[in-house]
Structure 1
């Protein structure tokens, strides 16, 4: 099982955690539920007619933990890297991880810089899979798109990063596609 440390618990981080946990990987999300979503009202999130950001966060957190993700109400102080693995330092605890997803803006920028992530014009440079220049480190949400941030785009970026990790671990392209049960099942 792969362990992924996700720093940030907004739509991007929770979306990544959902895909990873649902597919049997250990998804550890660090955040204090202080995301900008609590100041949002969702009228343009596909599939939702109207929902407060606070209600969205509550529903997303419940969904993610239902699939087995570990939500930790902790602030990450640093991340160290050795031999292709990461150690997340939060309070008195440490957590080893195979991958890191930086899913926030202010709190994750310093961590990104510490890890050597290329940041230019106020944003982390990422490729189409949200990979940074540091192997096994992804940047999603407002860290990668600070001036064009939007909840549904952030959630999609988290899913893209998670699918890339799932594909890397499987050694082939992975699709997370669920089908409804057939009649009689």
Structure 2
């Protein structure tokens, strides 16, 4: 079981936390619920007719903690690679992690730069799995698509990063399929 520190508690961060926690990895989310979702009204989130962004956040946070993810109401002040792991420093202390997922919108760009990830003038550069140029560091959501941001895309990016971490830990491709109970 790995420990994944997730910086940001919007759709990308919570989606990553959900998949990781439900697959028995420790997902530690840092965020103060100050996401742009609180200014959103969702009409285009697949499977949901319409929902207010704040209501979406409440449901998502409850779902994630229900699967065992840890939510820390704390701002991250720094991230560093130390002794083959990452140390995430926040107002509430330090947390060691095997992986980092940066999903805090534009605010996390400085953390990506601090870790040495490749950036351009507007975004953190990632591959198709949302891996940055730094091994075991991912970036998802508005941080990678600042001018083309959308909640369902951000959630998918967080899920993609989580599946890549799960596959890496398992040493094989992973599919996260849930099936209904048999009658």
Per the alignment, residue 81 of structure 2 pairs with 81
Report the equivalent of 1:49: 49
Deviation at 1:182, TM superposition (A): 1.5
- Count the aligned residue pairs: 183
Aligned counterparts of 1:83 and 1:156: Cα–Cα separation in 2: 31
Distance of 1:181 and 1:11 partners within structure 2: 27
Larger mean Cα displacement after TM superposition, 137-146 or 89-98: 89-98
Moved more, 81-90 or 64-73: 81-90
Aligned-residue offset at 1:80: 1.1
**TM-score using structure 1 length:** 0.97
Q: CA separation in 1, counterparts of 2:152 and 2:92?
A: 34
Deviation for aligned residue 1:106? 2.9
Q: Deviation of residue 141 (structure 1)?
A: 0.3
SS, match of residue 123 in structure 1: coil
Query: What do the CA deviations read for 1:156-179 (whole angstroms, capped 9, x no partner)?
Result: 000000000000000000110001
Deviates more, 1:24-33 or 1:117-126: 117-126
| CA pair 178-9 structure 1, distance change in 2 beyond 3 A | same
Stretches of structure 2 that go unaligned for 5 or more consecutive residues are none
Hey, what does 2:4 align to over in structure 1?
Answer: 4
Q: Could you say which residue in structure 2 is the equivalent of 1:22?
A: 22
Return the alpha-carbon distance in structure 1 between the equivalents of residues 45 and 25 of structure 2: 27
- 1:134 and 2:117 matched: no
Runs of 4+ residues deviating >4 angstroms: none
Query: Is the partner of 1:120 in helix, strand or coil?
Result: coil
Q: Secondary structure at the match of 2:148?
A: coil
Indicate how the Cα distance of structure 1 residues 146 and 175 shifts in structure 2: closer, same or farther if over 3 A, else same: same
Partner of 2:95: 95
Name 2:108's counterpart in structure 1. Answer: 108
The whole-number CA distance in structure 1 between the counterparts of 2:92 and 2:126 is 31
Give 1:84 deviation, angstroms: 2.4
- Work out the CA distance in 2 between the residues paired with 1:7 and 1:95: 12
Report the CA distance between 1:110 and its aligned residue.
0.8
Deviation for aligned residue 1:34: 0.3
Are the equivalent residues in 1 in contact too, given 2:106–2:146 (CA < 8 A)? no
CA RMSD of aligned residues (A): 0.8
